[in-house]
Amino acid sequence: MKARPILGALILGLAAACGPTSSPTPLPTVVLSTGNSPSTSVAAQVTASGRVVPAHEAHLAFAAPGIVETVSVSVGDTVHAGDVLIQLDPTAAQLQLDQAQRALREMTSSASIAAADQAVASAEQAQDTAQKKVNALSYPRATEAFVDNLRGRIALARQELADANGAFNNVKHLPSNDPERARALVRKTAAEINLNKLLGTYNWYTGQPSEIDVDLTYANLDAATAAVQEAQWYAAALRGEPIPDEASGAQLAALETARDSVTAAQAALHATQLVSPFDGQVAAVDISPGEYATPGQPVVIVSDVEHLQVETTDLSERDLPSIEIGQAATVFVDALGEEVAGTVVAISPVADLLGGDVVYKTTIELQSPPAALRSGMSAEVRFERSPSD
């Protein structure tokens, strides 16, 4: 199209050349355009449909089954965090807690603590005895004078046994019920017993303990030391004093089990109540007194209607690269005919399918939502593309 002005100028020039001779008519100056006409750049926008949703919404269900005793709320009620919404029959859970608490009280009574302290003292005494036996392994069992005395007594005992044997041999032909024979036999037997006892004592004081004796002595000390430690841990735990994580012992384990039983029973009793996790409004109640509550089945919905936001429903995967956290957006609420400024606060990492198209849910936080805004209203969201796009 730009060639037409040039062609017209050339025709006019030729016509002037063929006409009468006169002062030459100057040809018009032609400027060839080499680019597009300047225009104002309008940034493209990404749009998506959305709906108004609560910033927080809880679908509440019981973790354990039970019969509903009371329902304290209705749809539309305003509730606060910690408010009891529904109460199951707590009878069985309360009995379980009472039993667990009684067992723990018995284990931690004054009498039990006194018995634990006594056990510590007994264990320490046994440890002291075992330590003395270990110490004795490094020292002689008797002095040389004591051993010499034993040797002398053994010599006398052997002489006594020899004399007793001679006396018995002189009368052993007599009847067994003869008094003289009986006295000689008793003397001989007593001499044998005395000699054997002295020999055993001598051998023990003059001999060295075997390897098995040494190992057993040390093992007894280790066991006694461990018993003292476990007794001390248990006594401290009964009094509520801190104990290390590695503390052990059968009694301590039983005490911890009793305390765990109380904690579990308290949790079971608490689980008979359905409480609101935050301030909000009851959006649905799906159970009545006397009905059976199934674990995991939502029976109450609580919505945070004071803090509303918008979630997109059809943001295409092709537009997703242009959206980022913190990006400004404008939300047009159809029902109110108003625009509200917002900011992208979340982008779902998981895609959804909408009529065969891949879409991603994006959440927009509203800066100054209108007072008439309600959850469930439809909206249109406009995201400004960045200049680099």
Q: What is the pLDDT of residues 211-223, one digit of tens each?
A: 898 899 999 999 9
Q: What is the DSSP string of 86-131?
A: EEE--HHHHHHHHHHHHHHHHHTSHHHHHHHHHHHHHHHHHHHHHH
Delimiting residues of CATH 2.40.30.170 domain(s) in the chain: 45-55+306-384
Specify whether the CB–CB gap between 276 and 79 falls below 8 A: yes
Question: What is the band of 315 on the pLDDT scale with cuts at 50, 70, 90?
Answer: very high
What is the tens place of the pLDDT at every residue in 89-121? Answer: 999 999 999 999 999 999 999 999 999 999 999
Supply the pLDDT for residue 142.
Answer: 77
The CATH number fitting domain 59-89+271-302, selected from 3.40.720.10, 2.40.50.100, 3.40.640.10, 3.40.190.10? 2.40.50.100
Question: What is the band of 300 on the pLDDT scale with cuts at 50, 70, 90?
Answer: very high
| Long-range Cβ contact pairs of 33-42 (< 8 A, separation 24 or more) | 33/2
Residue 190 tokens, joined: 């007593």
Letter for the amino acid at 300?
V
Determine the Cα–Cα distance for residues 300 and 85; give it in Å rounded to an integer. 8
Supply the pLDDT for residue 138.
Answer: 75
Determine the Cα–Cα distance for residues 151 and 206; give it in Å rounded to an integer. 11
What is the tens place of the pLDDT at every residue in 121-132? Answer: 999 999 999 999
Supply the pLDDT for residue 234.
Answer: 97
Q: Which residues contact 253 (CB under 8 A, 6 or more apart)?
A: none
Specify whether the CB–CB gap between 338 and 373 falls below 8 A: no
Query: Whose CA is closest to 75, among 305, 296, 271?
Result: 305
Vertex 192: Cα angle to 140 and 190 (nearest 5): 110
Delimiting residues of CATH 1.10.287 domain(s) in the chain: 138-208
Q: Is 344 helix (H, G, I), strand (E, B) or coil?
A: strand
- Mean pLDDT on 254-259: 96
Supply the pLDDT for residue 139.
Answer: 72
205 has a pLDDT exceeding 90: no
Q: Which residues contact 365 (CB under 8 A, 6 or more apart)?
A: 55, 309, 342, 343, 345
Question: What is the band of 143 on the pLDDT scale with cuts at 50, 70, 90?
Answer: confident
* Sign for the pseudo-dihedral over CA of 49, 55, 57, 58: positive
Q: Where are the alpha helices (DSSP H) in the chain?
A: 3-18, 91-107, 110-136, 144-171, 179-206, 211-238, 250-270
Q: What is the DSSP string of 319-338?
A: TGGG--TT-EEEEEETTTTE
Letter for the amino acid at 6?
I
Supply the pLDDT for residue 53.
Answer: 95
Q: 285 or 389: whose pLDDT is higher?
A: 285
Specify whether the CB–CB gap between 303 and 317 falls below 8 A: no
The pLDDT mean for the chain works out to 87
How many other CB atoms sit within 10 Å of the CB of residue 369? Answer: 21
Specify whether the CB–CB gap between 201 and 150 falls below 8 A: yes
Determine the Cα–Cα distance for residues 75 and 88; give it in Å rounded to an integer. 19
Residue indicated by tokens 């919905």: 301
Record: fold of 45-55+306-384: Elongation Factor Tu (Ef-tu); domain 3 (2.40.30)
Supply the pLDDT for residue 385.
Answer: 67
Determine the Cα–Cα distance for residues 224 and 99; give it in Å rounded to an integer. 35
Determine the Cα–Cα distance for residues 204 and 213; give it in Å rounded to an integer. 12
72 has a pLDDT exceeding 70: yes
Delimiting residues of CATH 2.40.50.100 domain(s) in the chain: 59-89+271-302
Q: 36 or 365: whose pLDDT is higher?
A: 365
Q: 35 or 113: whose pLDDT is higher?
A: 113
Report the predicted TM-score, pTM, of the whole model to 2 decimal places: 0.61
Record: fold of 138-208: Helix Hairpins (1.10.287)
- Mean pLDDT on 268-287: 96
Residue 314 tokens, joined: 């059809």
Letter for the amino acid at 199?
L
